[in-house]
Amino acid sequence: MRSRALHIVLTLAFVAPASAGEWMVVGAGNATCAHWSAGTPGQQKEILSWMTGFASAVNLNRASENAPEYRLEYLTYDYLRHQIDGACAIADKPQSMSGILFGVLSKLPVNSK
């Protein structure tokens, strides 16, 4: 049952409202730096897993638009942890995990077409 619920939540995380043309973010993407800092290793791993899965969905969208895809092999858990910790260290700028992820993606190299 838990596996099925997780599957449903992850599926919903990748749904973009067609009329808005923007990504709809649920679950781990809405977690904040406070959630990250207070999270157990398992909860942090769930956020990292969401980030890599969401980044894959972003790449699928880019591919469908014939845009260069991000080089997702750089998104290791260690790299993402470092990026999250760095972004969360800026106390005057509260961040969500989705905001951090989009910042990370904007700095990643893309595949050449």
Chain segment 82-110, per-residue pLDDT in tens: 999 999 998 666 789 999 999 999 999 89
Assess whether pLDDT exceeds 80 at residue 19: no
Say which residue, 14 or 95, is predicted with more confidence: 95
> Alpha carbon 66 to chain centroid distance?
21
Q: What is the pLDDT of residue 77?
A: 96
CA distance 29 to 111: 25
Q: What is the pLDDT of residue 111?
A: 86
Assess whether pLDDT exceeds 60 at residue 23: no
The confidence band for 13, taking pLDDT boundaries of 50, 70 and 90, is: very low
Assess whether pLDDT exceeds 50 at residue 28: yes
Asked if residue 108 lies in contact with residue 74, where contact means CB atoms within 8 angstroms, the answer is yes
Using CA atoms, how far residue 108 sits from 4, 68, 82, in Å, is: 32, 11, 14
- Averaged confidence pLDDT in the chain: 80
Q: What is the pLDDT of residue 29?
A: 85
